[in-house]
Structure formats: structure tokens, C-alpha cells
Amino acid sequence: MKRALVTGGSGGIGAAICRRLAADGHHVFVHANRGLDRAAAVVAAIRAAGNSAEAVAFDVTDRAATAAALDTLLEGGAIQILVNNAGIHDDAVFPGMSGEQWDRVIDVSLNGFFNVTQPLTLPMIRTRWGRIVNVSSVAAVAGNRGQVNYSAAKGALHAASKSLALELASRGISVNVVAPGIIETGMSEGAFDADAVKRLVPMQRAGQPEEVAELVAFLASDKAAYISGQVISINGALI
């Protein structure tokens, strides 16, 4: 049984990823920041299905707190599957964007990636097997009005993932990016009505969190061992 950590695991996409990885037989750490009750609910559902999970809570932007939490997890062995899914939106057109809006989004998506991934890398290397999947966005591939901060954070994540893939390839560790388009979650609810989705997405529907989870689970499997350094879009032919 491999041990997996999914940051932002209590949200719509994150919860679907947690359920899917647990169904594959992994022990899943469902991460939340302040919403530990939601993470606990995801864990309860996973356990009710006969699979293995537990909830963990820490702020990915707090480097010291993250390191302490990860040290505790590593006492039980290496984390061999890491899904960096934590991220936030704080949208505004760039001329009206505050420094705080810029910093908050960069801090969670990009600095959070470093704070979580770096401490887990060496223990993963020692096992000679690992999967790192970073969840990005179509905004990083094509841009999006009002999301310069979000696009910048996720675009930097693409570049970091490609470089890290080169560093870890000889150690049996893959690093890939999954870039969803419009996915039907609480975060996207209200942002796009049905008519807008039909107009924007050639498949004329929003994606489901479970569809993203299937892609992540494949990249986290032995079957995807030769796929690394890739940005894989899942967006209904949006771009």
C-alpha cells in the first residue's frame, strides 16, 4: 500500500482525487487548511467504502508549520504519491489588483508547491518510486481575464514541474501537470451558467471532478511510468 498526500483534498476536485486514489488501494492523507471537518467527511466516505484514509490540516503557505506536519507524516514512511491540488482564486483585472491579491494567490499555488514538495522529495527518492502530480488550470495555458495572478502562479508551476521532472527522472519518479478547464465544483459554481458553458466549451458541458481524478490516478499508477514533464489539459476541447 503506497501512501498518498492530496493537498486541498477537501474541495471538489481534491475529494474526487482522494476517493479515486483510495479505491486504487493507496492510503490517502486528505489535506485541508482550515476545513478539517470537510476533510474528515471525505475520509469517512472513503472508509465507508472499505478503503484507507486520514485527514490532516496545515497551511501550505506556512513553511515551518508545513514542515512540522510533514515530519509527522514521514514517521510512518515516505509519501510516494503527491498531488499538489491546493489553490485559490482572488480575481481582479490587473490595473485594479492589489498587492495582497497577487501575493495570496502566488503564495498558495506556487510557494505552497515548494513548501509541500521539497521536504517529501528526498524520502521519495530513497524509495526509487514516486509520482508527483500538480493540478493547474486552463488559465495557465491560455490566460484568462481577471486572473493574471492565478495564471502567473500556475504557469510558473508548469515550468517548475518540467525542471523537477528532469531532476527526478533517473530515480523512478515522474512529475506531471494536469490542467483542468471548466469543472463542475463549488469553486466554479456561479462563475459560468449553462449557456456560457455551451458557448465556451466545444463539448458543451462542464467536466466532472471524477474525470479529472481518473487522469490523476492514471498518472499516479505504474502504467504511466514513462510519462513525465508533461502538461496535460482536460477541458472538453476548450483550447
Active-site residue list? 150
- Yes or no: say if 150 and 89 are a contact pair by the CB < 8 Å rule: yes
- Yes or no: say if 40 and 10 are a contact pair by the CB < 8 Å rule: no
**109: which DSSP letter?**
I
Label residue 83 exposed, middle or buried (CB < 10 Å: 0-12, 13-18, 19+): buried
**108: which DSSP letter?**
I
d(CA 55, CA 77): 17
Q: Which residues contact 132 (CB under 8 A, 6 or more apart)?
A: 82, 84, 117, 161, 164, 168, 173, 174, 175, 176
